[in-house]
């Protein structure tokens, strides 16, 4: 990976979409901080004042699903998704490139299916004006809509990656493997440290 941010600046898809994904990631982080403080207050209030804040657990569950959906895109651009790649060193270069392309396309298809199914869930909630069977009686279209938005962002990012990977498979398979193949050990270290470790003369983390 290259660049000082969490995403690979050598990848034009990451350069174009990374800033927006990063801001969404930060917003989700602040939402998690807020729910943590709400949970802390709920615990303290129960112990000291004998009352609780209604709906903290419910909101936390919604937030988990929403943040996870938005986090998929950030994980993709950081190559943080797990890859089973122990056979890669033993395979021909052409097969490796084909597998990297298949990975990008398969993930895009999976994301598209997720959006399609997510829309059916949201559409049903809107049709029947579904509400949570809780004291808050939350209209389900609100958390489901935010969850679907996260899946839609993921579908957009995976779609762009799949198109780019397809073009590289035709034009430059070496670059395809570099941008969409599994991370090297040095790449994994750089992702985890976000480029804060010094590099030696060979470009390896020291």
pLDDT in tens, 5-32: 577 788 999 999 999 999 999 999 999 9
pLDDT at 137 over 90: yes
Residue 142 neighbours by CB distance under 10 Å: 12
Q: How many helices (H) and strands (E) does the chain have?
A: 6, 0
Residue 15 neighbours by CB distance under 10 Å: 15
pLDDT at 151 over 80: yes
pLDDT at 204 over 80: no
Q: Is 115 strand, coil or helix? A: helix
Length of the chain: 206
Rounded Cα gap, residues 48 and 59, in angstroms: 23
Q: Summarize pLDDT for 78-133 with one digit per residue, the tens.
A: 888 888 888 888 889 999 999 999 999 999 999 999 999 999 999 999 999 999 98
In a domain, 206, yes or no: no
In a domain, 6, yes or no: no
Q: Summarize pLDDT for 16-73 with one digit per residue, the tens.
A: 999 999 999 999 999 999 999 999 999 999 888 888 888 899 999 999 999 999 999 9
In a domain, 4, yes or no: no
pLDDT at 196 over 90: no
Partnered with residue 205 across adjacent β-strands are 199
Rounded Cα gap, residues 52 and 181, in angstroms: 49
Rounded Cα gap, residues 97 and 11, in angstroms: 16
CB 155 within 8 A of CB 105: no
For residue 4, the model assigns a pLDDT of: 43
What the block records as the tokens of 38 is: 């709400």
pLDDT at 153 over 70: yes
Q: Which long-range contacts (CB under 8 A, 24 or more apart) does 109-113 make?
A: 110/158, 111/72, 111/151, 111/154, 111/155, 111/158, 111/159, 112/155, 112/159
| Ramachandran bin of 132, using left for φ above 0, alpha for ψ from -120 to 50, beta for the remaining angles | beta
In a domain, 164, yes or no: yes
Q: Global pTM? A: 0.85
More confident residue, 1 or 162: 162
For residue 184, the model assigns a pLDDT of: 67
In a domain, 106, yes or no: yes
Q: Is 129 strand, coil or helix? A: coil
Instruction: Give residue 185's pLDDT band: very low, low, confident or very high (50, 70, 90).
Output: low
Number of structural domains in the chain:
1
**Start-to-end C-alpha separation, the chain:** 16
In a domain, 154, yes or no: yes
For 124, the domain range is: 12-80+89-193
Tell me phi and psi for residue 119, to 5 degrees: -65, -40
pLDDT at 178 over 50: yes
What the block records as the tokens of 55 is: 């709906």
């Amino acid at each position: 990976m290259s660049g000082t941010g969490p995403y690979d600046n050598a990848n034009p898809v990451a350069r174009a979409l990374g800033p927006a994904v990063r801001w969404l990631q930060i917003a989700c982080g602040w939402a998690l901080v807020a729910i943590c403080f709400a949970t802390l207050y709920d615990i303290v209030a129960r112990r000291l004042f004998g009352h609780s804040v209604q709906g903290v657990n419910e909101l936390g569950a919604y937030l988990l699903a929403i943040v996870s959906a938005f986090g998929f895109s950030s994980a993709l651009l950081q190559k943080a998704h797990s890859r089973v790649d122990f056979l890669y060193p033993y395979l021909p270069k052409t097969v490796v490139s084909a597998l990297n392309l298949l990975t990008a396309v398969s993930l895009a298809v999976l994301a598209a299916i997720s959006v399609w199914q997510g829309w059916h869930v949201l559409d049903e909630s809107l049709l029947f004006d579904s509400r949570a069977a809780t004291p808050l009686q939350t209209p389900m279209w609100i958390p489901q809509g935010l969850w679907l938005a996260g899946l839609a962002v993921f579908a957009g990012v995976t779609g762009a990656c799949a198109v780019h990977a397809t073009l590289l498979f035709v034009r430059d398979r070496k670059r395809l493997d570099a941008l969409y193949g599994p991370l090297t050990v040095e790449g994994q270290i750089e992702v985890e440290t976000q480029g804060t470790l010094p590099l030696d003369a060979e470009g390896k983390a020291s």
